[in-house]
Each structure stands twice: as C-alpha cells, then as structure tokens.
Structure 1
Amino acid sequence: MIAGSNLEQVLSSGQFAVTGELGPPKNGNYEIVRDKARILKGHVDAVNITDCQTAIVRMSSLTAGLVALAEGVEPVMQMTCRDRNRIGMQSDILGASALGIKNLLCLTGDHQKFGNHPQAKGVFDMDSMQLLCMARGMRDDKIFQCGEEIKDHEPRLFLGAAANPFADPFEYRPIRLAKKVDAGANFIQTQIVYNVDKFARFMEMVRDLGLHERVYILAGVTPPKSVGMARYMKNFVPGLDVTDEVIERLKDAKDPKEEGINICVDIIKQVSEIPGVAGVHVMAIEWEQAVPEIVSLAGLSPRPETKMVESRLMSSDSIELIVSRVRKESKAEIEKALEQAKAEVRASRDLVVKEKDRTASEISGLKKQAEEARAIAEQKDTEIERLTAELAEIKAGPGPGR
C-alpha cells in the first residue's frame, strides 16, 4: 500500500469506488462541515474537500478535511497552485500528513478572475503536474523540491489529479493523462460525464496506452437540478459536453430535481460497464442530500468496509479538545505575558525609587559639602579680619607712651 487510505484500499481490492465532494463554508463555522460529512458518511469511500473552488474564499481544505476526518469520513484534500508557492504547498502537505490525511488531489486551480477577489494576485509557482512530481518526491524519495532530505516522517499520501476527457483537442486528452500518471498520479477524477459515448471513446484510447493498468480512473458525475442549469453548462462551461438528450429529459420532467438524480444514476450505471473505469466521483456540492439516494439507486450501497488507517484525530470531540487546548495554551501565554509585564513595571518602579533615593542622597551630600564650605569660608573671613587689624597696627607704628 502507498498510503493505506480507505480510498486506496477499496480501489486496490478491485471494488468499484465512490467518492463525493464537500464544499467548505464561506465562514469559520465548522459545524457546517460536520453536518455535510454526516450526510455523506457511509455512502462514499472518500470525500473531496474543495480548495476555494471557483476562486471564492472559503474555509481551508486542510481545516475542513480535519473536521471531516473527525467525523469518520475520509477526506481527499484538494490543493491548488493558485494561492501558494512551493514553500507553502510543501508545508501544507506535511501538515496534512501529520493530521492523518491520506489523500491529496493536485490541481492547478481556477483563475482568480472568476472569484470574489478578481484583483488578487495568482501565485501559480507550479502547475498540477509539477505539484504531483513534488508531492511524489516528498513521499517516495524523502526529499523536498529543493533537494533537501526529509529525515523522518515523510508524508504518505495517495496522490490524485483531474482529467477532462471532453476538452479540445480530443485526441490529445489521453496523452495529457499519461503525463499526469508519469508525474505521480495514483488516481484520476474526470470532468463531469454527460456524453457517455464520447467518454467511452476516450477510455478506449486510454486502454490503448495501457493507462488503465497504471492509474485508477473515476468518472465524474453530477445530478443536474434543472434544464436551465443543463443549458448553461452546455453553452457556457468550457470542457463540458451536455447532450441534447439530457436537456430534453429535464425539459419534459414534472420534477426536474428527481429527473436529475435519475439521469445521474443512469450515467453511473453506463460508465461502470466501460472497461478501465474504477469508480465514480459524485459532485453534488450544496446538494449533498442527493448523494445517498444516488448511490443507493445506482446499486452501490452499502460501501465496502475497510480498516480505516488510525489517525491522531478520530472523533468529533477531538476538535473540541483541540479548541479547548488552544484556549488554555493561549490563556497561559496571556497570563505569562501579563506577569512578565507586571514584573517589568515593578522593576521600573523600583528603579525609579532607587534613582529617587540616590538623587536625594546625592543632594543631601551636596548640601553638607556646601555647609562645610560655608563654615570654612567664615573661618577664613575671621582670619582675614584678624590679620588685617594686626597689619593696621604695625603700619601705625609705636604710639606715645608705648
């Protein structure tokens, strides 16, 4: 086993894998992540934790992944190259490994112009293939990207990447996939599949290159909520191939959401019959409630039981413990800082008192010296007066009768 993750165990055992997707909130409320994780638990083998998808600021994928892990849901931490340089990415890889996260999906990332901070500067120090190479080097060769050795506890991660079978030029798609496999990808999650026939042709080219024997491929699926959503994806989302059949089914449906679920289930059943497809990646962001029904209707429930690799954090209470510990440590640090400040104030006051006492002593000494000088001066004046009188007598000479 490479990392021993639940996802890796399911795939390596030859079972058809199911992954889901969880979008962290646009705030710091981790309860939202817990609620979504509880919905998905038991229905997927692992769940992608998105990394500020569509370049919109959200809770970090590392933090949300930790929350999901605490709920017993294995995370696939997404990492984009948009917001970090190679120093930051390697640091987060080490942190994720330390916290028990076993799966990493390497992405280039949506351009910041599509998000809520279009004026932000994109980093893009690397692309997804270079990130894969770097992560693989950290894991297999125990070296940082600079060549420095990782002396202990190298990150053990099951590495993933994304692939779009429908982008142009179509014939180049398997070749690009091969490059990601060469870079270090252990599993692939594809763009949403609506055109199953075209996806089947893509998989045929993949098999011709023998890639299905080197990497696990999970077909991306999603339940369209409405005909408007389907039309928008068909006309405005690059790299998506939404068929007219899908649009017609939604258009004629009495309940578009229910029909969207049925469409997703039908596609899952079709792609599962294509040789080389090892699983599906169900993308139902902000509609996690649909995932259990989709998985069940597709005949993929219950999910296989594997021994989840023990992590440092295996219960939801662990988060509370971490928060409590941080608060205690912060309180202790604050109290220590206050005591230090008080000690410095006391020392300053003592110094002022000492300086005041020293100054008073010096003034007293100066006064004493002045008094002594004044007494000496008075003695000198008396002596001068006496000598002056004697001098006057001498000058007067001897008087009569002397």
Structure 2
Amino acid sequence: MSLKSALESGKFTVTAEVGPPKGTDIAKILHEAEALKGKVDALNVTDNQSAVMRISSMSFCKLLLDMGQEPILQMTCRDRNRIGLQSDLLGASILGIRNVLCMTGDHPNAGDHKEAKPVYDIESVQLLNIVRALNSGKDMMGNEMKGGTDYYQGAVVTPEAVPIEPQLMKFEKKVNAGAQFFQTQAIYDIEKFKGFMEFAGKFPVKILAGLVLLKSAGMANFMNKFVPGITVPQELIDELKEAGKEKALDAGIDIMARHIKQLKDEKICDGVHIMAIGAEDKVPLIMERAGLL
C-alpha cells in the first residue's frame, strides 16, 4: 500500500527515518531497512541530514524501492538551485519515487563542510509550488513538459515552537502551495500538540506526529538547550534519570510507545513519524510496545 493510500484510507500510519551513511558501506542501513519491511508504511530518506555530506537521498530511495519498500524522498533547498531541484524531481519520478518531503534544509555551518556555500535559491514553500507545477506537466516557469510527475507532497511543521504564530502562518502557506501531508518536528507535550491539531484539523491535510527517541536525560537536556522548537517536559527527564544510565534507552522506548498509543487511541492525528536517530533497530520494539505489531 502506498503512503497516500494508507493515509487516505484512515489507517493510523507509521513512517520511520533512515539516514544514508557517509561512505559506500550500506550493509548496516540496508539490514535496518529490511527489518522494517511490512511494519512501517513508508521510510523517509534524509537529504544530507544536518548538512553532513552523505549518500544521496534519491539513490537510496531507489534501493528501498528495489527492496519493496515505500520511500519518501526528502529534498532540501540548500545544495541545488531551482534548475537542479526540478531536474532531480524529474529523475526521481522516472525511478518510481512517488513521495517527496519538501524542506529548506540546515545551513552548512551545522555540518562537516562549513566552508560550503549554501544555495537557498528558493525555500520550502516555493519548492512545494514547483512540485505542484511538475505534477501538472509544467516546470516552475510554466513551460510545458513531455510528461509530468505524480508526487504525494509533504512538508514539515514545528508544533511546539514558541511563539507558535509564525509556524501556523507557514503551515497555511505550505497547504496553499500544495502540501498534502505533514510530518512534524519532535513533540513531547501531547496536550500542547492537541492545541496545534485544533488549528491543523481545519485543513484538508494529513498530520504525522514526529517523535524522537530519547536515549538519556542528557540528550533531553541538550535538545531543550540547543534545538529550537523542541521542549522535553521535566517529568520525562526525571523518568529517564530514575531509570539510570543502563536502562535510560529502555525508558525512552517506553515513553515513545506511550505517546504513540495515546495519539492513536485518542485519534489525535493521522499517524506518527518515528525518528530513532542511530537506534533504528529499536523501531520494531517501539511499535510492539505501542500495540502496533
């Protein structure tokens, strides 16, 4: 079943994230992706995540397709201008990739090539408009093409940002630009997320709540201090501390499973996007504890 079919059928949809490696040894990530086959509805493939040079998202999406997986091509505006982005979108389409997540992308200062010049010829809303144009058989300048694309368009939003108003405005712009589904940045406060969903529920789009696996109290404190738009409540940090270093990861798995179950049981959103970040092998266990397997 395609991601679009899963979401539009009303199924509580689960996506996960895989980050291509820095180098050509793909044995580990292929093994992790294979372990998720038949469990998640789609796999995001990151695009030089955190501005660190890695295997391209498009090539790894093709490998997932060949494995019988449903890939989501993440595409950022950092490394390519509007010509390059459109060219890659056409290329991904003829490879059979049907889902694209449009993002602006982290600045190179955050990565391992700090002297790289960022492109940012366009940003995420404009990229969504480009995808919509390509789907209609035209390029962004309105020129007719010999065959269009058929992408299911995704975007991101940060529901716990403070202040939230700029995010809500950007959300609406992305919907108007053609976004059909959203994967959120990490959420940890379900009650606050419910408030966001009261706003988002007015629009004809699907929402997947983003959940990042907490591996330690230190990780939670780091995110609170350095990652804008993410707030880990103190009670969750205390829960991780009480578990101790050896059992902190297991406590983090329990926290995520509990949140997934609440989101599903209370029908708060359309599904979840699991970001295990280096612990992708734990995704089946998370889903099992959440009652999804």
Asked if Structure 1 and Structure 2 have the same fold, meaning a TM-score greater than 0.5 normalized by the shorter chain, the answer is yes
Out of 28, 46, 52, the residue aligned to residue 56 of structure 1 is 52
Report what 1:248 is aligned to.
238
CA displacement, residues 225-265 of structure 1 (integer Å, 9 cap, x when unaligned): 11110111111111101100110000001410100000001
Q: Name the CA distance, whole Å, in 2 between partners of 1:102 and 1:284.
A: 24
Amino acid of the structure 2 residue aligned with 1:265 = A
How many residue pairs get matched? 291
Corresponding residue to 2:105 among 105, 109, 116: 109
| Number of the residue aligned with 2:257 | 265
* Distance apart, 1:9 and its partner CA: 0.8
Asked if 2 retains the 8 angstrom alpha-carbon contact of 1:25 and 1:32, the reply is no
Amino acid at match of 1:148: N
What is the CA–CA distance in structure 1 between the aligned matches of 2:267 and 2:287, rounded to whole Å? Answer: 20
Query: For residues 162-217 of structure 1, what are the alpha-carbon distances to aligned partners after superposition, in whole Å with 9 as ceiling and x for unaligned?
Result: 0001113223433321111111111000011111111111112223xx12xx1000
Matched, 1:40 2:36: yes
- Offset of 1:276 from its aligned partner? 5.3
Equivalent position of 2:200 in the other structure? 206
Larger gyration radius, structure 1 or structure 2 = 1
The one-letter code matched in structure 1 to 2:263 is V
Match of 1:217 in 2: 207
Contact 2:213 2:277 in 1 (8 A): no
Which of the numbers 290, 293, 297 marks the counterpart of 2:289?
Answer: 297
**2:78/2:106 contact within 8 Å kept:** yes
* Paired position in structure 2 for 1:233: 223
Secondary structure at 1:272 match in 2:
helix
* 1:142 paired to 2:134: no
| Residues 17, 46 of structure 2: 8 Å contact kept | yes
Please list the CA deviations of residues 28-56 of structure 1 after superposition, one character each: whole Å capped at 9, or x if unmatched: 22334322211221221000000001000
So what's the TM-score if we normalise by structure 1?
Answer: 0.70
Question: Which residue of the partner structure matches residue 151 of structure 1?
Answer: 146
- Say which structure is richer in strand: 2
Runs of 5+ unmatched residues, structure 2:
none
Alpha-carbon deviation of 1:223? 1.7
Letter of the structure 1 residue corresponding to residue 173 of structure 2:
K
**Root-mean-square deviation over aligned CA pairs:** 1.3
Greater Cα offset, 183-192 or 270-279: 270-279
Partner of 1:182: 176
Matches within 5 A, 1:1-400: 6-139=2-135, 141-152=136-147, 154-207=148-201, 210-211=202-203, 214-254=204-244, 255-275=247-267, 277-301=269-293
Opposite residue 270 of structure 1, the aligned amino acid is Q
Q: Which secondary structure does the structure 1 equivalent of 2:270 belong to?
A: strand
Q: TM-score, normalised by structure 2?
A: 0.96
Percent of aligned positions that are identical = 46
Partner of residue 307, structure 1: none
Contact 1:11 1:216 in 2 (8 A): yes
The CA distance in 2 between the partners of 1:125 and 1:37, in whole Å, is 33
**Map of 1:321 onto structure 2:** none
Cα distance between partner residues in 1 of 2:100 and 2:239: 36
Partners of 1:272 and 1:47 in 2: CA distance = 19
